[in-house]
C-alpha cells in the first residue's frame, strides 16, 4: 500500500479515503465499515444513528449564523464493487485495497479502487469533522448495499431526516450536475440440467475469453466494449455445430451491474476433431480481436487441454443455453430523443454460471422510462423461457425524473460559474443513483448529484483524477456556504 495519497489535497478528504481503503467493504459485507463510520460520528460528538437496515446517519448542527438555512443531506454509499483481475490474489472481505498514485490519477493494484463511492463518503466525513467551514444544518446519509440492490435506500424510513436538499456525491464526471437517472430491473433465468456421462474418445479443454475492459453496465454500455458472455456463446455455438463440442461447465461474469470481462468454460470434443478445434480457436481469436480492436484491444481467447470432466451438461439444456444467450438483447436499446447523447434504455447480459445442477443467467436492464425498463425485461424473460429456462424479473427500482426548474440547480450553476469561470453541464445519467428511490420516500427533497472524475468504475481499471477531487470538494464547500434560507 502506498501512502502517497496522504500527501494529496484536500488532505482531510484523502486521509478519510485512505482509511476507507483499509477497511473491507464489499456489498452486503459492510459490518466493518459501518462500525468505523459509527465510531467516526460518535468520536466527533455528533448524533449518530444506525437504522434498522444498516444505513449510517450522522447529524451536524449549523455553524453560527447559518441556523436559518435549508438543511442539506450529504448522501453516498458505504459499499464498493469487489472486482479483481484473474491473476490477482485478493480477499475483499479481509484485505485492504492497494491504492497508489499513477501520474494524474489514483488507482489500485489489480482490483477495483472503491472511489465509487469512497470519494463521496470521504468528502462527507471531511465536512463532518471540519471546524473551519461555514454551513447550515448537515445530515450525512451513508447507505448500505447500493451496488447489489440499493436495499439501504429502499428501506430508509420516512421522518428520519429533516433536511430539504439532497446532494448525492456518487457521480463520476467533475463539472457535471446530474438531475435525473435511469431505473433498473434484474432478469434472472435458471436452467436445471441433468449431468451426463462423458462419451468415450473425447478430449477436454479449458477455453477462456479474457482481457476485456468490462466496466459499469450503465455508464459504459454505449462504448461498444465486448461482452465476454456474448463472445463465448458465439464460440461455443459454432464449435458445437461444427466440431461436436459438449459443455461441462461455464463461468462468465460475476457482478450484475458490470459488463462481463471474462468467461471460462470446460468443454470436450471428439479426438478426431482435436486439430480442427484448436485451429478454430486461434481463428476465432483473430476475428474477435479484429472486431474489438478499438473498444477492447486487450481481448484474448485461449485454449488448453485439461483433465476430463466428470460430467457434462445434457445436450437439450446446452442447446437451450446457447439459444437463450444468443437471443438475449444486449447493449444500447434506445437513445434518448429528449436529451441528446444520453442512452435511454439498455441491457447487459452480466452473468452466465453453472454449479453442477443448474445454470443461472442474469441480465440487468436500465431505462429513464420505467415502462420501457419493464418492456425490455419482459422481452428478455420471454427469450429465456422460450429456450426452456424458468425466468423472473426482480429488484425493480425507479428512475429519477429530471426537474430542470430545481432551485438548488439554479443556485449551484451560479456557484460553479463564479468559482471556476465556466458553466457546469446539466445531465441525466444512465445509471441507478439512489436519488430515484430516496425521492420516492422524501418527496419534498430537491436533489442534485455530482462528484469527481472517476473512470472504469466496477472494474480493476477504476481510477479517480486527482485534480478533480480538489475541485469537487471546493465546489461542495462553496455550495454549503450558499445554501438558501428556509
- The verdict on whether 146 is a catalytic residue reads yes
Full strand arrangement of the beta sheet holding 72-77: 47-50, 56-60, 138-143, 72-77, 165-168, 446-449, 176-181, 425-429
Sign of the C-alpha dihedral, residues 286, 287, 290, 296?
negative
Among 26, 23, 28, 27, smallest CA distance to 39 is for 23
Distance CA 122, CA 128 (A): 10
Residue 7 Ramachandran class (φ > 0 left, ψ -120 to 50 alpha, else beta): alpha
Q: If you count them, how many residues does the chain have?
A: 486
- Name the maximum alpha-carbon separation found in the chain: 84
Which position has the grid cell 429528449? Answer: 338
HSE-up of residue 275 (Cα within 13 Å, Cβ side): 1
- The verdict on whether 291 is a catalytic residue reads no
Active-site pick, 30, 116, 146, 174:
146
Cell of 276: 480442427
Among 358, 426, 427, smallest CA distance to 391 is for 358
- Catalytic residue numbers, as ranges: 79, 146
Amino acid at each position: 500500500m502506498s501512502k502517497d495519497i496522504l500527501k494529496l489535497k484536500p488532505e482531510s478528504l484523502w486521509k478519510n479515503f485512505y482509511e476507507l481503503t483499509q477497511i473491507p467493504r464489499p456489498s452486503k459485507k459492510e459490518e466493518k465499515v459501518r462500525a468505523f463510520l459509527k465510531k467516526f460520528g460518535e468520536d466527533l460528538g455528533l448524533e449518530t444513528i444506525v437504522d434498522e437496515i444498516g444505513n449510517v446517519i450522522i447529524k451536524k448542527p449549523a455553524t453560527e449564523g447559518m441556523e436559518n438555512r435549508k438543511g442539506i443531506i450529504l448522501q453516498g454509499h458505504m459499499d464498493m464493487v469487489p472486482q479483481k483481475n484473474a491473476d490477482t490474489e485478493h480477499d475483499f472481505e479481509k484485505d485492504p485495497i492497494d491504492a497508489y498514485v499513477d501520474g494524474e490519477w489514483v488507482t489500485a493494484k489489480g482490483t477495483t479502487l472503491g472511489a465509487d463511492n469512497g470519494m463521496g463518503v470521504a468528502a462527507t466525513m471531511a465536512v463532518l469533522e471540519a471546524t473551519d467551514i461555514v454551513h447550515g444544518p448537515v445530515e450525512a446519509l451513508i447507505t448500505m448495499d447500493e451496488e447489489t440492490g440499493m436495499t439501504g435506500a429502499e428501506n430508509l424510513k420516512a421522518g428520519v431526516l429533516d433536511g430539504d436538499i439532497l446532494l448525492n456525491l456518487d457521480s463520476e464526471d467533475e463539472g457535471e450536475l446530474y438531475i435525473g437517472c435511469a431505473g433498473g430491473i434484474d432478469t434472472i433465468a435458471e436452467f436445471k440440467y441433468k449431468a451426463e456421462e462423458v462419451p468415450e474418445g473425447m478430449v477436454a479443454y479449458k477455453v477462456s475469453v479474457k482481457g476485456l475492459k468490462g466496466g459499469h453496465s450503465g455508464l459504459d454500455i454505449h462504448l461498444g466494449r465486448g461482452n465476454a458472455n456474448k463472445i463465448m456463446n458465439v464460440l461455443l455455438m459454432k464449435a458445437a455445430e461444427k466440431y461436436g463440442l459438449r459443455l461441462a461447465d461455464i463461468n462468465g461474469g460475476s457482478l450484475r451491474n458490470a459488463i462481463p470481462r471474462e468467461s471460462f468454460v470446460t468443454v470436450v470434443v471428439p479426438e478426431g476433431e482435436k486439430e480442427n478445434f484448436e485451429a478454430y480457436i486461434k481463428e476465432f481469436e483473430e476475428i474477435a480481436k479484429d472486431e474489438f480492436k478499438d473498444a477492447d484491444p486487450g481481448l484474448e481467447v485461449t485454449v488448453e487441454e485439461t483433465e476430463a470432466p466428470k460430467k457434462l451438461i445434457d445436450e437439450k439444456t446446452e442447446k437451450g443455453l446457447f439459444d437463450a444467450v444468443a437471443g438475449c438483447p444486449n447493449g444500447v436499446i434506445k437513445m434518448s430523443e429528449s436529451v441528446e447523447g444520453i442512452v435511454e434504455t439498455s441491457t447487459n447480459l452480466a452473468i452466465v454460471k453453472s454449479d453442477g445442477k443448474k445454470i443461472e443467467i442474469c441480465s440487468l436492464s436500465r431505462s429513464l422510462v420505467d415502462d420501457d425498463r419493464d418492456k425490455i425485461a419482459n422481452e428478455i424473460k420471454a427469450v429465456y423461457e422460450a429456450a426452456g429456462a424458468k425466468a423472473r424479473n426482480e429488484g425493480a427500482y425507479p428512475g429519477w425524473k429530471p426537474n430542470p426548474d430545481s432551485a438548488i440547480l439554479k443556485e449551484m450553476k451560479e456557484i460553479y460559474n463564479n468559482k471556476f469561470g465556466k458553466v457546469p453541464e446539466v445531465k441525466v445519467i444512465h445509471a441507478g443513483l439512489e436519488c430515484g428511490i430516496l425521492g420516492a420516500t422524501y418527496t419534498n427533497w430537491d436533489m442534485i448529484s455530482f462528484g469527481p472524475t472517476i473512470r472504469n468504475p466496477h472494474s480493476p481499471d477504476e481510477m479517480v483524477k486527482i485534480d478533480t477531487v480538489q475541485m469537487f470538494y471546493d465546489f461542495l464547500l462553496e455550495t454549503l456556504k450558499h445554501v438558501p434560507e428556509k
